[in-house]
Amino acid sequence: MLNQPRKISHSDSIISQFTKQAVPFLRMSQHSNQYGLNLVVKLSDPKYDDTVLDVACGPGIVACEFAKIVNHVIGIDLTPAMIEQAKHLQNEKDLHNIDWRVGDVSKLPYKDDSFSLIVTRYSLHHLINPSEVITEMYRVCRPGGRILVVDVTPPEVKKNAYNYVEKLRDPSHAEALTFIELKRMVESKGFININTESQDLEMNLESLISSSFPNPKNKDEIIRLFKKDISSDILGMKSYLKDNEKYFFFPVSLIVAYKPKQSI
């Protein structure tokens, strides 16, 4: 009997994609953009006695930012190469209050009510079941604590086109939700006192493509769609040309939400 080719799971695709992306992701200045990191900190208002969990922490950029302020941070991610980069970044920044763990965030390996602040940035659109992860974030959040969710949120009418081009550009992309869908998902878990912010994150198309490893046969189609976005905004990414290079903006939303002090 012939061996059937093994079906690639979504987790395999995440690990394969983010093993390639680990170094370029960390090096891309936009991901360490101080304006965005300041927004993250301002909205979640960390204090020294907070214990922070960074869910799908990647190369640890956000975890390291919190570690400058709070007592202790844990970062967890599925991709070992990302955790390796996170350890380098921690050493570079001479931070001693972070622990890293390789693991799947759809079942967080922590007890109920373990953390006072739980963050996740740019991760939910890579997950097949983001709702399950927010349920887990609720479970491990201490009563009175909060979560911060940061992700790309395309406008409702552009959502299909946005997800189509993003899947071509990055095969590990699952689905970006709209801001309303994301906020409702957070509210549906029982979180209260929601506060939000938004950011248009500027990107250079060529440098993003070269750090996200799309299937080479899709590159022309990706460029064609971004070109079309310049004249007709079909993707909701406000693409434009500068010095003959294509730029666009990721529509980013930030949502902070509190777990009630007493269960309701």
Ligand X SMILES: C[S@@+](CC[C@H](N)C(=O)[O-])C[C@H]1O[C@@H](n2cnc3c(N)ncnc32)[C@H](O)[C@@H]1O
User: Any contact of residue 122 with ligand X (CB under 6 A)?
Assistant: yes
- The residue (of 132 and 227) whose beta carbon lies closer to ligand X is 132
Residue 263 Cβ vs ligand X, minimum distance, rounded to whole Å: 27
User: Any contact of residue 127 with ligand X (CB under 6 A)?
Assistant: yes
CA 145 to chain centre: 20
User: Any contact of residue 44 with ligand X (CB under 6 A)?
Assistant: no
Q: Which residues pair with 148 in a beta bridge?
A: 119, 256
- The residue (of 62 and 186) whose beta carbon lies closer to ligand X is 62
**Other beta carbons less than 10 A from residue 37's beta carbon:** 17
List the one residue from 115, 126, 209, 225 that touches ligand X (CB under 6 A).
Answer: 126
CA nearest to 57, candidates 139, 159, 126, 153: 126
User: Any contact of residue 57 with ligand X (CB under 6 A)?
Assistant: yes
User: Any contact of residue 214 with ligand X (CB under 6 A)?
Assistant: no
User: Any contact of residue 58 with ligand X (CB under 6 A)?
Assistant: yes
Burial class (CB in 10 A: 0-12, 13-18, 19+), 168: middle
User: Any contact of residue 123 with ligand X (CB under 6 A)?
Assistant: yes
Q: Which residues pair with 133 in a beta bridge?
A: none
Return the residue nearest ligand X (CB atom).
58
State the Cα–Cα distance between residues 134 and 128, nearest whole angstrom: 12
Binders of ligand X: how many residues, by CB under 6 A?
A: 20
State the Cα–Cα distance between residues 128 and 79, nearest whole angstrom: 16
Which window, 102-110, 134-142, 161-169, 202-210, contacts ligand X (CB under 6 A)?
Answer: 102-110
- The residue (of 59 and 145) whose beta carbon lies closer to ligand X is 59
State the Cα–Cα distance between residues 37 and 28, nearest whole angstrom: 14
User: Any contact of residue 98 with ligand X (CB under 6 A)?
Assistant: no
Burial letters 126-159, b for 16+ CB under 10 A, else e? bbeebeebbbbbbbbbbeebbbbbbbbbbeeebb
User: Any contact of residue 100 with ligand X (CB under 6 A)?
Assistant: no
List the one residue from 67, 115, 121, 145 that touches ligand X (CB under 6 A).
Answer: 121
Burial class (CB in 10 A: 0-12, 13-18, 19+), 211: middle
List of residues contacting ligand X (CB under 6 A):
14, 18, 31, 56-58, 61-62, 77-79, 82, 104-106, 121-123, 126-127
